[in-house]
Amino acid sequence: MPFEPVLMRHANVPNSTSIEVYQRAGGYAGAAKALKMTPDELVELVKKANLRGRGGAGFPAGMKWSFLPKDRTVTYLCVNADESEPPTFCNRITIETDPHMLLEGILIAGYATRTTVAYIYMRGEFTEQFHILQRAVDEAYAAGYFGRNILGSGYDLECYIHRGAGAYVCGEETGLIESLEGKRGWPRIKPPFPAVEGAFRKPTVVNNVETLACLPHILTRGLDWWLSVGTENSKGPKMYCVSGPVNRPGCYEAPLGVSVRELIYGDDFARGMRGGKKVKAVFPGGLSMGVIRGDLFPKNPSGAIDPKADYDELDCRLDFDDVRHYDLLGLGTAALVVIDEDTDIRDVLVNVARFYSHESCGQCTQCREGTAWMYKIAQRMRAGAGRVYDLDLLQEVTQNMGMMPGLSICGLPDGAAWPIRTLVYKFRREFEAHIARQAPDAVMSYARRINPAAYELPVLHGRAVIDEGGTFQTPVDLMSKRVTLGPAREVVAVVD
């Protein structure tokens, strides 16, 4: 059966932001159904649907809701509309084209979690979108979907929009909560997790816009439909953003598990590269999840199949599992940045490093300093003063920052480390070639550091640095030829 979009079904419908248009298309029927169930039944339904969070971490929504203490008297729902991950703009599209779908999702999640107040925390730059959403909230109040005794169920829910000032770290759930409370958006040390102690120190659920927007469809179309969409552990539809030099950049809905290749080349999606250029690299999950190449690369040894074989990285399927076989941290926001063959990989590195260095909130030393070091190294490499050693240094810095090694309060440095680590790992030869061309003296001094016996030799158009141990750095373009100098003196690294 062909896939029928649900999250973007109103994207091109005139006046789609109004409650009349939404209701005429069956809107708020899911909420009406939910209010006839008990909150516990709803939580069970969402658990069975295995609705995984669309905000980046992919945590199952139903399980998160069940962490709320049973004896709580107050619960808050924070709707994460900060949408600050680079190239990600699907929440914006939802708010611009179908705000009532989000509001219906808030009502359903609010009822399931016994929330009394929902706060929509909105990215500061979303000015027009704020007005669209505020109009929709007013309409929903007027129609009785917010306020007292909603649809005669006895359930009360207030809904407010809170505008942020535009900081990446305010998308992190505890940074968001601090900012909502009127403080500086500094993430909190966990535990306690928000489910136990969140906004105003009360039990709080934080969910992404798209996660909540899925709820009305689970209720109206049913569990069987939901489970029929997607892959084994990744159920339901997803909004994918595609940006970069493609023919049709935009936001597209597809079942979870669509491949990167389909999104770039498919007729229903981005329709190929502008000017027929080749894909050099893709960041498929927002920046933070890492990079894949536009061609063959050995699959991650943890990948299930043959670790020795090369895999076309564009075959990567965008669900919560397959991405891990391509050295990606996760699905992230499923927002693709496509990079073409004309782009200098050093520029990509500088842009990535600059973003995280600028956005680190500065509480944790290794994040504040580490992201700044990476940016400085990246700038040095772009300026032509890079050393091969810098590539190792970058790798080392990325291993020593983040929540995963237990060194930081929030996940921002993990998201900074992963794209830089994968860029250096997957494009190492290209970085080395730039270094070799641009800074022969730096290369020479590096070669001497690892082997004092290293010496220079004129080869073809310039010099080669020969290392007795067999490792080799070249400051010149050797025109892809191997130069053999005898058993112990072979040129092993060649620019291609």
Ligand X SMILES: Cc1cc2nc3c(=O)[nH]c(=O)nc-3n(C[C@H](O)[C@H](O)[C@H](O)COP(=O)(O)O)c2cc1C
- Give SS3 for 406: coil
Distances in whole angstroms, Cα of residue 312 to Cα of each of 256, 286, 322, 372: 20, 20, 13, 33
Scanning 136-144, 220-228, 252-260, 407-415 for contacts with ligand X by CB under 6 A, the matching segment is 407-415
Q: Cα-flanking dihedrals φ and ψ of residue 38, to 5°?
A: -90, 155
What per-residue string of b and e applies to 75-109 under the rule 16 or more CB within 10 Å gives b?
Answer: bbbbbbbbbbbbbbbbbbbbbbbbbbbbbbbbbbb
Partner whose footprint covers residue 54, from ligand SF4, ligand X, none (CB < 5 to 8 Å by kind): ligand X
In this chain, which of 118, 150, 169, 348 binds ligand SF4, going by CB under 6 A?
A: 169
- Residues forming a β-bridge with 204: 76
Smallest distance, ligand SF4 to C-beta of residue 413, A: 5
How far are the Cα atoms of 100, 103, 283, 419 from residue 94, in angstroms, in the given order? 9, 11, 22, 27
Strand blocks (E) in 73-198? 76-81, 117-122, 158-163
Asked if 412 is part of the footprint of ligand SF4 (rule: CB under 6 A), the reply reads: yes
**x/- map, 357-396, ligand SF4, by CB under 6 A:** ---xxxxx--xx----------------------------
Q: Does 190 bind ligand SF4 (CB under 6 A)?
A: no
Distance from C-alpha of 65 to C-alpha of 90, rounded to nearest angstrom = 24
Select the binding partner of residue 363 from ligand X, ligand SF4, none (C-beta < 5 to 8 A, by kind). Answer: ligand SF4
Span from 81-89, 112-120, 335-343, 479-487 in contact with ligand X (CB under 6 A): 81-89
Closest by CA to 8, choosing from 213, 185, 147, is: 213
- Residue 356 to residue 51: CA distance in whole angstroms: 29
Give the footprint of ligand SF4 on residues 249-288 (CB under 6 A): none
How is residue 169 annotated by DSSP? G
Per partner kind, with CB cut-offs from 5 to 8 A, the member of ligand SF4, ligand X, none near residue 211 is ligand X
> Could you say which of 17, 50, 80, 408 contacts ligand X (CB under 6 A)?
80
Determine, following the binding rule CB under 6 A, whether residue 202 of this chain makes contact with ligand SF4.
no
325: contact with ligand X by CB under 6 A: no
- Locate 195 and state its tokens: 């489910």
Compose the 158-177 pattern: x for residues touching ligand X by CB under 6 A, - for all others. ----------xx-xxx----
What six digits make up the tokens of 199? Answer: 């906004």
Residue of 412, 447, 454, 465 that binds ligand X (CB under 6 A)? 412
Task: Note whether 54 binds ligand X by CB under 6 A.
Answer: yes
CB 137 within 8 A of CB 159: yes
409 is a site residue for ligand SF4 (CB under 6 A):
yes
Judged by beta carbon distances under 5 to 8 A according to partner kind, the member of ligand SF4, ligand X, none in contact with residue 408 is ligand SF4
User: Residues 415-454: x/- map of binding to ligand X (CB under 6 A)?
Assistant: x---------------------------------------
Question: Choosing among ligand SF4, ligand X, none, which partner's interface includes residue 367 (Cβ < 5 to 8 Å by kind)?
Answer: ligand SF4
List the beta bridge partners of residue 282. Answer: 292, 338
CB 18 within 8 A of CB 139: yes
Total of chain residues touching ligand X, rule CB under 6 A: 24
Q: Which of residues 194-213 bind ligand X (CB under 6 A)?
A: 206-208, 211
Burial class (CB in 10 A: 0-12, 13-18, 19+), 309: exposed
Q: State yes or no: residue 354 binds ligand SF4 (CB under 6 A).
A: no
CA–CA gap between residue 395 and residue 389 (Å, rounded): 10
208 binds, among ligand X, ligand SF4, none (CB under 5 to 8 A by kind): ligand X
What's the closest the beta carbon of residue 105 comes to ligand SF4, in angstroms?
28
Q: Which is nearer to ligand X, 55 or 386 (CB)?
A: 55
- Cα-only R_g, the chain: 25
**Do the beta carbons of residue 316 and residue 326 sit within 8 Å?**
yes
- Calpha distance 18→137 (Å, rounded): 10
* Cα–Cα distance for residue pair 354/372, rounded to 1 Å: 8
Nearer to ligand SF4, 368 or 463 (CB): 368
Q: Which does 80 bind (CB under 5 to 8 A by kind): ligand X, ligand SF4, none?
A: ligand X
Q: Is 187 in the site for ligand SF4 (CB under 6 A)?
A: yes
Q: Which residue has the tokens 């779908």?
A: 101
Partner whose binding site includes residue 413, from ligand SF4, ligand X, none (CB under 5 to 8 Å by kind): ligand SF4
178 binds, among ligand SF4, ligand X, none (CB under 5 to 8 A by kind): none
**Which are the contacts of 204, defined by CB distance < 8 A and separation ≥ 6?**
75, 76, 77, 78, 177, 194, 195, 197, 198
The reply to whether 65 sits near ligand X by the rule CB under 6 A is no
The H or E element spanning position 181 is: none
Tokens 């007027």 correspond to what residue? 142
- Shortest Å distance, C-beta 184 to ligand SF4: 11
Contact between 248 and ligand SF4 (CB under 6 A)? no
Bridge partners, 464 (sequence order): 457
Compute the least distance from the CB of residue 419 to ligand SF4, in Å.
15
Residue 85 within binding range of ligand X, rule CB under 6 A: yes
Phi, psi of 370 (to 5 degrees): -60, -45
Nearer to ligand SF4, 269 or 375 (CB): 375
138: number of Cβ within 10 Å: 12
Q: Which positions lie near ligand X, rule CB under 6 A? A: 53-57, 59, 80, 82-85, 168-169, 171-173, 206-208, 211, 410-412, 415
Residues of this chain that bind ligand SF4 (CB under 6 A): 169, 187, 360-364, 367-368, 408-410, 412-413
